[in-house]
A = this chain, B = another copy of it.
Amino acid sequence: MPTLALSKAITAGLRKAMEDDDKVVLIGEDIGKLGGVFRVTEGLQKDFGQRRVIDAPLAESGIVGTSIGMAIRGYRPVIEIQFDAFIYPAYDQIVTQLAKLHNRTRGHESLPVVIRVPYGGGIGSPEHHSESPEAVFAHHAGLRIISPSTPHDAYWMIQEAIDSPDPVMFFEPKRRYWLRGEVDTDNRGPGPHTAQVVTEGTDVTLVAYGPLMPTAADVVAAAADEGTSVELIDLRSLNPIDFDTIEASVKKTGRLVVTHEAPVFLGLGAEIAARITERSFYHLEAPVLRVGGFHTPYPGSKLEHHYLPDLDRILDGVDRVLAY
């Protein structure tokens, strides 16, 4: 079992998918010789050629729109968006075309397009390089959205994304690209749309995903020191959300905290809070609490540690939910 950095696990997954199916092509800005600004596609153009690893003109709508066309022609394009906020020029192609063509053609057309989006903050970047836009895509039907938090999941989930006949947005926790972990290349996980109980616990359920998973693990440890048993769930799939797994946990613990870097207001936590409250009303000892970004633009990097949920803020949430 190799130990890989999360970014390199994605590289390995991409490589595997490209070997398995020569209809898989990569397209994006600077993904060729440079290997992408995070080096996720490093070496792939050298090995698979310029026809399968395509440096695109600097136009995100064009990249998504032409990928749709390539998919209609029988290809399985995997797009790299350079940074989270640079996906917005492609918003229209994603939500009115990519997400809707299967429906528009009454199922005749499938759109196996993957959009890789490095997202989240914490790497000291300037404006537009640290956002977490998952919620605005999850609101639109037609897209699947997943986000790995470990190298093992990264390796498998990127392949599952590419295999999917539905369009998949693959959100990569960029500040965890350097997180190393074992990748079991023989045994895949529970499938892309299942949440996973990472640590069992009895007092509070904590739901996190992507970049906040390591922070959440720290919370579990710190809470244990204080005598609180936290059950930690890695959401993994952001659309659909595996409410069954969360519900089962909350029916056990009676308390739920959800954390994400995205703004709390209308973030995924809102939906999880609303739906879990509906499903487990009589089991909840406290309202579902959310710890996340503020309703402000993501700040300059000197201030981002205030914006991002950290150990203390999430612990504070755990304490508050226990105080009910």
Among the listed B61, B281, B289, B297, which residue makes an inter-chain contact with A286, where contact means beta carbons less than 8 Å apart? Answer: B281
Does A178 interact with chain B (Cβ within 8 Å)? no
A274–B278 contact, CB under 8 A?
no
- Bound Cα distance from A136 to B91, whole angstroms: 11
Contacts of A290 in B (CB 8 A): 274
Contacts of A128 in B (CB 8 A): 96
Least distance between A294 CB and chain B CB atoms (Å) = 8
Stretch in A115-123, A181-189, A244-252, A259-267 with 4+ CB within 8 Å of B: A259-267
- Bound Cα distance from A63 to B277, whole angstroms: 42
Contacts of A103 in B (CB 8 A): 296-297
A268–B266 contact, CB under 8 A?
yes
Does A43 interact with chain B (Cβ within 8 Å)? no
Q: Which residue of B lies closest to A271 (CB)?
A: B270
- Bound Cα distance from A274 to B266, whole angstroms: 9
The copy count of this chain in the complex is: 2
Does A224 interact with chain B (Cβ within 8 Å)? no
Among the listed B85, B262, B274, which residue makes an inter-chain contact with A270, where contact means beta carbons less than 8 Å apart? Answer: B274
Contacts of A268 in B (CB 8 A): 266
Least distance between A39 CB and chain B CB atoms (Å) = 26
B266–A288 contact, CB under 8 A?
no
Contacts of A289 in B (CB 8 A): 278
B269–A274 contact, CB under 8 A?
yes
Does A192 interact with chain B (Cβ within 8 Å)? no
Most buried by B among A95, A275, A297: A297
Contacts of A274 in B (CB 8 A): 269-270, 273-274, 277, 288, 290
Among the listed B85, B104, B277, which residue makes an inter-chain contact with A287, where contact means beta carbons less than 8 Å apart? Answer: B277
- Bound Cα distance from A273 to B289, whole angstroms: 12
Q: Which of A218-271 contact B (CB under 8 A)?
A: 262-263, 265-271
Q: List 23 A-B contacts (CB under 8 A).
A: A61-B89, A88-B96, A91-B92, A100-B297, A104-B297, A136-B136, A136-B139, A136-B140, A138-B265, A139-B265, A139-B266, A141-B294, A141-B295, A142-B297, A265-B271, A266-B268, A266-B271, A270-B270, A274-B274, A277-B277, A277-B288, A278-B289, A281-B286
